[in-house]
Amino acid sequence: MDRELCGRALQDLYAWIDDIALSRPKKHITRDFSDGVMAAEVVKHFFPKLVELHNYSSTSSTQHKLSNWNMLNRKVFSKLNFNVSEEAVRKIALSTPGVIEPVLFALREKMDLKLEKNGETILHLGKYDVKNQEKTPTGTGRMEAQVHQKQVEGKKMHPVKNCKLQTLEQFTSEMDPTVRLVLQEKEQALMALRETVEILQMKVTRLEHLVHLKDLRIEDLTRYLDAYKGKAQ
């Protein structure tokens, strides 16, 4: 789960999530899955008898989020021979970007294995094969993949900034745990807001492109109509 997924693997994962009917609209995968509820719903989708959804409730409390994930580890993931580490759980609860994707990817693999043992298959949602599959995600999946790519490029372009972040992490590690937790929550909330702005900007750009295409279509139809009127006269 510590592996870094390539762009196409991420797109495939986002498309897979988009195909699953969940109780809440999919807006931002990092925040959507932070409380563990949607992760429970994903497992419930493929193994209805394995999850009791009433045990997991949506929350903004970090402690409640941790409790949900710990319960998932004990009651659900253990039956899939799967476990999310305490460090990963804490980062997911804090909506740390880039953490939930490898976890969901690994969970998907474990579910695939269990379904295969049960003689079942996940239709059109098989394992990701870089050589043989090229899926094109829609909606949230595409937006998330673009944001993730920008994050990766940003890290490569700003090595000095990364060094400052490492220094900050060393500084916060010496703080009181409660103060550090609050600081991390504020920092992750700020990062999430920035990512939301980027996603909205992408959506605006896409809508502008669609409007442009619509205008071109209207012009074509107008010319066709004028030509038809000319012939009729």
- Structurally, the chain folds into a number of domains equal to 1
Average pLDDT on 30-57 reads 93
In a domain, 75, yes or no: yes
pLDDT above 70 covers what percent of the chain? 72
In a domain, 229, yes or no: no
| Residue 173: pLDDT band with limits 50, 70, 90 | low
How remote is the C-alpha of 122 from its chain's centroid? 20
pLDDT, tens digit, for every residue of 107-128? Answer: 999 999 988 887 654 443 444 4
Q: For residue 84, what is the domain's CATH number? A: 1.10.418.10
In a domain, 68, yes or no: yes
In a domain, 71, yes or no: yes
Q: Residue 52 half-sphere exposure, CB side, CA atoms within 13 Å?
A: 5
In a domain, 28, yes or no: yes
In a domain, 51, yes or no: yes
Domain around 93: 7-207
Where does the chain have alpha helices with state H?
Answer: 7-18, 29-32, 37-46, 62-75, 86-93, 100-117, 140-157, 159-172, 177-232
Query: Which residues, 6+ apart, have CB-to-CB distance to 59 below 8 Å?
Result: 35, 65, 68
Q: What is the per-residue pLDDT for 31?
A: 92
In a domain, 214, yes or no: no
Are 188 and 94 spatial neighbours (Cβ–Cβ below 8 Å)?
yes
Token pair recorded at residue 184: 């991390």
What's the CA gap between 80 and 50, in Å, rounded?
Answer: 10
Higher pLDDT: 71 or 210? It is 71
**The whole model's pTM is what?**
0.52
Nearest to 192 by CA among 92, 106, 56: 92
In a domain, 213, yes or no: no
